[in-house]
Amino acid sequence: MSSTLKKAFPIFASRTERFHYLDSAATGQICAAAAAALLGYETTARANVKRGVYPLADAASNAFDAARASIARYIGIDDANEVIFTSGTTMGLNLLAHCLTAELAPGDEILLSELEHHSNIVPWQIAAARRSLIVRAIPVKKDGTLELAAIEGLLSARTRIIAVAHTSNVTGAISDTSRIAEAARAAGAYFVLDGAQALPHGPVDLKRLGCDAFAASGHKMFSATGAGIVWMNKELAHRLPPFLSGGEMIRTVSLKGSTYAPPPHRFEAGTPPIGACLAMGAAAEWLASLDWTAIESEERRLTRRLLDGLSATAHTTVLGPAGFCHRRGIISFDVDGVHPHDLCQFLGDRGIALRGGHHCAQPLMERFNLAATTRASLALYNDDADIDALLEGLESAVRLLR
Ligand SMILES: Cc1ncc(COP(=O)(O)O)c(C=O)c1O
């Protein structure tokens, strides 16, 4: 199956040398559908959106609306106007941190977790410093999952926002969103979900996940860099103030003051990354057409192979959940006595693309008493040859580098 899927990603046919791409949690490779949408718009259909009335501009605006609708369907949302285009998860979480905290009073609390990407920590810290808010964090258990039993003790009458990752970009652990949603509801807090690592693994149903707001990136779901989305429920989006300001987010402007457009435009100031948004819509359409039961079962099989192989490799410790159910194929490991950067360089020279470092999750590294790990992350195009290459390469690395 992965060989058929591989054909839908132009990069694999373009490489003549050994190429085992195991860094999809950093960025996924672009699929042909997204690449065609990007190139088609930029070369033959380019006009700004929501401005001109000539046919080319009209067509661009219609394609932009259609992309929004495709993404809404991929995340289980009926009203496409609840989807706001951003430049990616980082901008989305900044938007949410800025806008949601505008309603808060000094002393109100925000609950994050120890496993968050810096993009879901720093924007809240900056907002907290500005508005004298308190930031707390759900601890992480030894197996890399959230210590949800601690939530009750961390919530207070002042908790207004809970913001956590759907899937850890370090360990692949999937959060128990229904328990967190329940806790948020009971506390009367908004539940913000960082979905950066969720969308590459198939469609999601945000209604079932129970969040009030969600952010994700196009480039991680096999589209172009430069576009992403925020989803917010309608009532919330209509109530919140803008984030960035300028053209296209207004209703009226006078030198005395301005009024704002309704969502989604209120949150989409300036010319959006149109080509990348169209590409994200095309990726969502293509991904939605795939057999995710089969893809998921293949990802589980490869994850199991990799986890078993790593556990059998001398001096190697895997972080994160031991099972295959509540995790994705994002696997961080530590090789005692070998720095992740040396390991990634050694394996990179042998055609194996991995990521070494703190993965923008320094609090989680601290939790595990590590400065850095090596991470292999799987996507729908990986196959047994990728796992074999990594495990064989790692054996040599342990022999030669330790
Ligand atoms: C869980 C998580 N959140 C947020 C981000 C930030 O995404 P982006 O760099 O696309 O804005 C990432 C990127 O790796 C991530 O893995």
- Kindly give the distance from the C-alpha atom of residue 28 to the centroid of ligand 1, in angstroms, as a whole number: 12
Q: What's the CATH code of the domain at 135?
A: 3.40.640.10
Q: How much is the pLDDT for 4?
A: 85
Residue 339: phi and psi, rounded to 5, are: -70, 135
The whole-number pLDDT of residue 378 equals 98
Query: Is residue 233 domain-shared with residue 300, that is, in the same domain?
Result: no
Rounded CA gap, 214 and 209, in Å? Answer: 10
Per-residue pLDDT reduced to its tens digit, 231-264: 999 999 999 999 999 999 999 999 999 999 999 9
What are the tokens at 314? 């001398």
Tell me, using a 6 A CB cutoff, whether residue 94 lines ligand 1: no
Task: Compute CA 143 distance to the chain's CA centroid, rounded to the nearest angstrom.
Answer: 21
Q: Name the residue with tokens 């809240």.
A: 124
* HSE, side-chain direction, 13 A CA sphere, residue 132: 3
Centre of ligand 1 from the C-alpha of residue 312, in Å:
31
Q: What is the C-alpha to C-alpha distance for residues 115 and 364, in angstroms, rounded to an integer? A: 5
Asked which of 243, 260, 288 is the last residue of a domain, the reply is: 288
- Catalytic-residue membership of 344: no
Residues 216 and 71 in one domain: yes
Q: What angle do CA 357, 362, 368 make, to 5 degrees?
A: 90
* Residue to mutate (ligand 1; options 89, 93, 194, 221; most atoms within 8 A of CB): 89
What atom of ligand 1 comes closest to residue 169's alpha carbon? 16
User: Are residues 279 and 308 located together in one domain of the fold?
Assistant: no
Report CA(90)–ligand 1 centroid distance (Å). 6
Of 290, 286, 299, give the one whose Cα is nearest residue 223.
286
Q: Do 9 and 148 belong to one domain? A: no
Residues 381, 240, single domain; the answer is: no
Q: Which amino acid is at 324?
A: F
Give the Cβ contact number of residue 208 at 10 Å: 11
- Do 348 and 299 have their domain in common? yes
> What's the whole-number mean pLDDT along residues 383-391?
98
User: 271, 288, 305: which is the final residue of a domain?
Assistant: 288
| Residue % of the chain over a pLDDT of 90 | 96
* 142 and 275 fall within a common domain: yes
- Please tell me the total count of domains within the chain: 2
Q: Which domain holds residue 154?
A: 34-288
215 SS3 class: strand
Q: How far apart are CA 107 and CA 157, in angstroms?
A: 11
| Atom of ligand 1 lying closest to residue 217 CA | 10
Q: 314 and 195: one domain?
A: no
Res. 2 pLDDT band, cuts 50 70 90? low
Same domain for 179 and 321:
no
Last residue of a domain, one of 265, 288, 311: 288
Pair 247, 309 in one domain:
no
CATH number of the CATH domain containing 385: 3.90.1150.10
* Closest atom of ligand 1 to CA, residue 92: 11
Residue 182 CA: distances (Å) to CA of 206, 208, 294? 14, 12, 31
- Model confidence pLDDT, tens digit, residues 314-338: 999 999 998 777 899 999 999 999 9
What is the whole-number distance in angstroms between the Cα of residue 46 and the centre of ligand 1?
Answer: 29
Residue 1, pLDDT above cutoff 80 = no
* Cα-only R_g, the chain: 22
Q: Decide whether any atom of ligand 1 lies within 6 Å of the 23 Cβ.
A: no
Residues 104 and 234 in one domain: yes
Q: Which residue from 2, 17, 103, 67 is spatially nearest to 229, judged by alpha carbons?
A: 67
* Ligand 1 neighbourhood includes 197 CB (under 6 angstroms): yes
On whether both 284 and 295 belong to a single domain, the answer is: no
